[in-house]
Amino acid sequence: MSEAVLRPLIWLDYRLALIFLVLLPLVLMVWAVMQRMEAIQRLMTIYWKVASLLAITVYLMIASLPISFLTGPLAMGLIVASLWFWADINEDVADMAAWRPLRVAFNAWRWAITIYGIVGGVFSLLFVRCAVTAKAAMLSDATCPLWLEAPWGYKNMFHANTGTGFLGFLGIVGLIIYVLVLAYFVIVKLGRTGRSATGN
């Protein structure tokens, strides 16, 4: 696929991510707090914890670290899984009145994220090679650096006076912490609480 075709698609992906993964979840979180919908509040809190891997990915991409081409798709997979995994939250949402606007909006968002995650995951498979090559080779590739343009733009806007090496270091530290917390959840907590978000 040519650069002229890929660049608009990649930028479209970033724009959709900003809408569906940042702005709409913020709206839903505030809405759920205002409506005192505890089940949705709980799931949105879990969502932000899981989605933090996307923020980590941005910092890894700023430093042009190839591993970021793995953490991005992994984050999407974990996000989709986290939105449907919790049996107690699914039951609470199903018990809400079908006509409630927040329930409708929340379920529409969950399905939109699911579809977006699957399509985005398939699209990202085209770039797996970017994750398994040396940094220099990745940067000299015809298409891999296209994914780095938006993170570099983010850096110029919010971290103009900060070195890319330091930002990459923050990304690596964040990734290590994320992996440790995820491992604790899978190995220890999941066995105790199962698919209950409240642990009951």
Q: What tens digit of pLDDT does each residue of 12-32 get?
A: 999 999 999 999 999 999 999
Q: How many angstroms separate the first and last alpha carbons of the chain?
A: 50
pLDDT, tens digit, for every residue of 69-124? 999 999 999 999 999 999 999 999 999 888 889 999 999 999 999 999 999 888 88
Mean pLDDT computed over 58-67: 97
Percent of the chain past pLDDT 90, that is, above it, reads 81
182: number of Cβ within 10 Å: 15
Domain boundary assignment for the chain: 3-193
Alpha helices in 86-148 (DSSP H): 87-95, 101-124, 135-140
pLDDT tens-place string over residues 169-185: 999 999 999 999 999 99
Name the range with the highest mean pLDDT among 5-9, 96-100, 131-135, 162-166. Answer: 162-166
Q: Measured between alpha carbons, how far is 104 from 139 in angstroms, rounded to an integer?
A: 44
pTM comes to 0.93
Q: To the nearest 10°, the Cα dihedral for 16, 17, 21, 22?
A: -90
Q: Is the pLDDT of residue 152 over 90?
A: yes
168 pLDDT above the threshold of 70: yes
| Residue 1 pLDDT > 70 | no
The predicted structure's pLDDT at residue 200: 62
Q: Which residues contact 158 (CB under 8 A, 6 or more apart)?
A: none
Q: What share of the chain is helix, strand, coil (3-state, %, to 5)?
A: 85, 0, 15
Q: Within 13 Å, how many C-alpha atoms sit on residue 7's CB side?
A: 7
**pLDDT at position 90, please?**
93
Torsions phi, psi of 161, nearest 5?
-100, 15
